[in-house]
């Protein structure tokens, strides 16, 4: 794909009658060049239609103004708006986004990290805290600047921009308990290698244990994050002898799948069983009944992650943000338990 004979700095230099250094300066640090010279240079650039060659620039300056983001899946609406916000903030700073996805596979994640670094990413956005030692080693050994999001850990907070999944799940569960529910089930995302799913589970479990008074988490069923698996898990749970009055779900997609299956099975939601999702993606307010869920500050999270990563890359001071707030959204899929 030879970029055919694009004009180079030297061409511009010749035309403007100045040295290549002046042009480079005019481009990267205009204040260092006299107005008059700058004008000549700008005109020459205009006439020739010059654009800096990326490779040359990257090689000489050893930075690409590109950062990477590696997310489990783009199809999951949960990440879409966050990544969009992330990208928008970067874009304003003249930084571009390399995007890759892992399909929730840790090995794939390492592969993508390597690929993005090899493709020149100056820094990385990663989702979630849990990853194999090999991946941690790579990040540490190569000193890859990175920000971790969609979760929050108090220790080493200059790396995390996110919310506390455990706490959010705890709070949601408390609200459900307050409504009178005692018999819980959980349709969880696959927890292996996914700290968000695990933390949500723990949050729910803890809230129930703390509450006492006979409240119990009767069943936990794992499902991949897709509608149909949510449905299957729902059916599995409802066919057990110990029927819950409420089913908490690892995210809204699982909850929506459960809801659809409930309709097929003729099980009324929320009259016979309540359903609670997580993430508050668009679908949650559209389903019927709409899904009670936990709203996650996706956009703010994406923006904050971008700001933090940019700060790290520019070597500036990095403020450690507090965990972002989540909010329980009570909607029609959740009601008091049947007497």
Strands (E), 128-233: 145-149, 160-161, 183-188, 216-222
Q: Which residues contact 31 (CB under 8 A, 6 or more apart)?
A: none
Among DNA, a copy of itself, none, residue 36 binds (CB under 5-8 Å by kind): DNA
> Do 113 and 81 meet the contact criterion of CB atoms below 8 Å apart?
no
List the one residue from 15, 52, 120, 336 that touches DNA (CB under 7 A): 52
> What is the binding site for a copy of itself (CB under 8 A)?
1-4, 6, 49, 51-60, 62-66, 73-75, 77, 80-81, 83-84, 87-88, 91, 94, 96-101, 112, 114-120, 122-123, 141-143, 145, 227, 253, 256, 259-260, 263, 282-283, 285-288, 313, 315
Mapped onto helix, strand or coil, the DSSP state of residue 187 is: strand
Span 56-95, contacts to DNA by CB under 7 A: 56-57, 59-62
Please state at what angle helix 35-48 crosses helix 20-28, rounded to 10 degrees: 100
Judged by beta carbon, residue 1 or residue 140, the one nearer DNA is 1
- Residue-by-residue DSSP string for 42-80: HHHHHHHT----HHHHHHHHS--SEEEEEES-SSSHHHH
Q: Which residues contact 5 (CB under 8 A, 6 or more apart)?
A: none
Judged by beta carbon, residue 33 or residue 262, the one nearer DNA is 33
List the one residue from 28, 91, 288, 314 that touches DNA (CB under 7 A): 28
Among DNA, a copy of itself, none, residue 17 binds (CB under 5-8 Å by kind): DNA
Tokens of 26: 């005019």
Among a copy of itself, DNA, none, residue 75 binds (CB under 5-8 Å by kind): a copy of itself
Residues that bind DNA (CB under 7 A): 6, 8-10, 17-25, 27-28, 31-34, 36-37, 50, 52-53, 55-57, 59-62
């Amino acid at each position: 794909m030879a970029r055919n004979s694009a004009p180079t700095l030297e061409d511009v230099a010749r035309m403007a009658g100045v040295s290549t250094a002046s042009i480079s300066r005019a481009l990267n640090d205009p204040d260092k060049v006299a107005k008059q010279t700058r004008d000549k240079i700008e005109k020459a650039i205009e006439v020739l239609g010059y654009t800096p060659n990326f490779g040359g620039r990257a090689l000489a300056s050893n930075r690409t103004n590109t950062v990477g983001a590696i997310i489990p899946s783009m199809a999951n609406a949960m990440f879409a708006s966050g990544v969009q916000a992330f990208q928008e903030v970067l874009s304003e700073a003249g930084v571009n986004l390399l995007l890759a996805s892992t399909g929730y596979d840790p090995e794939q994640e390492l592969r993508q990290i390597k690929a993005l670094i090899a493709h020149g990413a100056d820094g990385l956005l990663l989702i979630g805290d849990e990853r194999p030692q090999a991946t941690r080693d790579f990040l540490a050994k190569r000193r890859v600047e990175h920000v971790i999001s969609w979760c929050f850990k108090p220790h080493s907070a200059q790396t995390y921009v996110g919310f506390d999944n455990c706490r959010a799940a705890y709070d949601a569960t408390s609200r459900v308990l307050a409504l009178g529910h005692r018999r819980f089930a959980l349709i969880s995302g696959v927890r292996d290698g996914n700290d968000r799913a695990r933390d949500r589970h723990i949050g729910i479990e803890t809230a129930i244990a703390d509450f006492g008074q006979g409240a119990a988490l009767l069943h936990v069923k794992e499902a991949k994050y897709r509608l149909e698996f949510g449905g299957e898990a729902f059916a599995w749970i409802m066919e057990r002898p110990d029927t819950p009055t409420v089913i908490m779900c690892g995210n809204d997609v699982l909850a929506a799948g459960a809801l659809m299956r409930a309709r097929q099975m003729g099980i009324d939601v929320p009259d016979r069983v309540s359903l609670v999702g997580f993430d508050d993606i668009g679908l949650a307010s559209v389903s019927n009944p709409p899904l009670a869920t936990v709203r996650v500050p996706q956009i703010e999270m994406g923006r904050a992650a971008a700001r933090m990563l940019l700060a790290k890359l520019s070597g500036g001071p990095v403020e450690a943000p507090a965990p972002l707030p989540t909010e329980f959204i009570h909607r029609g899929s959740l009601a008091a338990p049947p007497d």
